[in-house]
Amino acid sequence: MSTAIENKKLKSNNKLVSTSLLLGGVLIAVMMIFGILMLLAQGGVIDVSDAAFYQFLTIHGTGMVGAAALAAAGVMWYFLNRYVELSKKIFIWFLGLVLIGVVLVVIGVFSFKYASAWTFLYPLPAISANAWGVTGALLYLFGMLILGTGFLLLYIDTGRAIIKKYGSLGKGLGWDVLSGKKKVSDAPPKAVVASTMVTIVNTTALIAGAAVLIMNIINVINPSFTFDPMLAKNLTYAFGHIFANAIIYMGVIVVYELLPKYANRPWAVSKLFLVAWTMSTAFTLVIYTHHMLMDFAMPKWMLIMGQALSYANGLPVLVVTAYGALMVVYKSGIKWDMASGLAFLSMFGWTVGVVPAVVDATIVVNHVMHNTKWVPGHFHMYMGLGAVVMLFSFTYYLAKIDSNVKESKLDKIAFWCYAIAMFAISAQFLVSGALSTPRRWAIHYPGWMTPAVFGAIAGVFLVIATTIFIIHFVRYLKNRGTVGSGLNEQKPA
Ligand code: HEM
Ligand SMILES: [Cu+2]
């Protein structure tokens, strides 16, 4: 395709993609405020009723995962669309369904007091000791079902488009290259490999999620319909673990696309890269069982597998990506700006965030640390300092290539403010975990309060930094299409 046509197509898609990023970004900022409120309550600074605390916990967990996934799906769609023909109509349906889902969830939580946490573990939706009623549960469960349907539609389309261009999902992962039928130089681009992985794991996750949501819905309407709680837990965590994990695998595409352009160096796909992505595809699908290490009724082999593979889960992709990013950047004379800086920071956050996760995946440690704040410690690090940073790297990137909006000193200050504040919040959770503070407790003993208060203060700085990121993006939206930096004209890496 000639560059002129290519550019026109790219720019007309920018508007759609921007919608998912703006919506996701604003939701993330708002959800941060609920995070701060929870910490202030746990720290004994403000009075929040127990019921309200669990509503905050529910909306914060659901909202953060949903919003980050929404924005990350925009990033994946944007880059994947350069290599395969995706349907714009489906993306609009996706946005619409997610929006409807969000509205139902918000009404369910705040108007009808639904507060099961985002894991909606059966039979909690139906049996709440009258904390909430049928309406709240149905609004929440249907909201999640509709939201999930939107995502499922999107992945069916990405799967269709990848199969059309490359022949199969296996080939999208580069299996024909691994088996020697194709040269490495003809391997699918990194964006396609990552998108194929996410398509496979998230389709699986969403089907598991839909099944357990529907069973919960029937149980709420007619409590005489019951089902095996162990099966429910398996399905719920197959959904939740995979879906939350896939966010970073969508977001990382911006790192793959952006760094080589900025450093003006190729970042070629290697066999090792393909092996790593195939391994992470397989591991991500099966290791949700690490959420069941306490469930003695589970088959032992599943737990052992969950433990062993949890170590290895994200590592292959993380290692090839972090190493590749370093090699691309090293002595390249790369020009650092917000987009490339955030992309690099996200690699740091992801790497550092994995360490406490690996520690917790050890059964012996897990028996002590599980259900302490150690767990939110690790995922706030790799979500907040990894995945979410990738999303904002993309918003700055888009602003740069598609407008003449300039970055200011304020953006730079926001960068450091964000990095330090998010690190502080994660560290605060880890310290609490080390003090054996249980997670998901509305009320803390005085000895547990200090880290929470510290985290709340850091949270205020984080919200300010995030707001500055969003303002830059809004300025771009107002100036969209004015001459960009010309990076658009270069061939995709
Ligand atoms: C200002 C920033 C943030 C603050 C102050 C904050 C605070 C909190 C707090 C206090 C909890 C409950 C901890 C407990 O179990 O006692 C929590 C849980 C959680 N947070 Fe955050 N958070 C922030 C940012 C984020 C980000 C960026 C994400 C992901 C993109 C995220 C995702 C989650 C999730 C998934 C939970 C688990 C909810 C559950 O246990 O059901 N948070 N957060
Ligand atoms: Cu998990």
Structure confidence by residue, pLDDT tens digits, 251-288: 999 999 999 999 999 999 999 999 999 999 999 998 88
Q: Which fold has domain 16-489?
A: Cytochrome C Oxidase; Chain A (1.20.210)
Does any ligand 1 atom lie closer than 6 A to the CB of residue 70?
A: no
The structure's pTM equals: 0.95
Distance (Å) from CA 287 to ligand 2 centroid: 7
The one-letter code for the residue type at 491 is K
How many Cβ atoms are within 10 Å of 376's Cβ, its own excluded? 21
Residue of minimum CA distance from atom 28 in ligand 1: 64
Distance (Å) from CA 48 to ligand 1 centroid: 17
Residue 492 has pLDDT above 70, yes or no: no
- Give residue 199's pLDDT: 98
Sort residue 481 into left (φ over 0), alpha (ψ -120 to 50) or beta: left
Q: Nearest 5°: CA angle at 396, between 150 and 23?
A: 30
Tokens of 457: 């203060």
The domain spans of the chain are 16-489
Could you say which ligand is closest to the alpha carbon of residue 290?
2
Residue of minimum CA distance from atom 38 in ligand 1: 61
Tokens of 408: 């200011």
Least confident of 56-70, 192-206, 370-384: 370-384
Distance (Å) from CA 85 to ligand 2 centroid: 33
Least confident of 321-330, 339-348, 470-479: 321-330
**Quick one: which atom of ligand 1 is closest to the CA of 119?**
41
Q: Report how far Cα 210 is from the mean position of its chain's Cα atoms.
A: 19
Closest to 140 (Cα-Cα) out of 63, 207, 75: 63
Phi, psi of 39 (to 5 degrees): -65, -40
Does any ligand 1 atom lie closer than 6 A to the CB of residue 38?
A: yes
Does any ligand 1 atom lie closer than 6 A to the CB of residue 59?
A: no
Tokens of 84: 């395969």
What contacts 24, CB < 8 A, 6 or more positions away?
Answer: 67, 68, 70, 71, 72, 74, 391
Does any ligand 1 atom lie closer than 6 A to the CB of residue 57?
A: yes
Does any ligand 1 atom lie closer than 6 A to the CB of residue 60?
A: yes
Q: pLDDT tens digit string along 118-127?
A: 999 999 999 9
Distance (Å) from CA 366 to ligand 2 centroid: 12
Distance (Å) from CA 295 to ligand 2 centroid: 15
Does any ligand 1 atom lie closer than 6 A to the CB of residue 470?
A: no
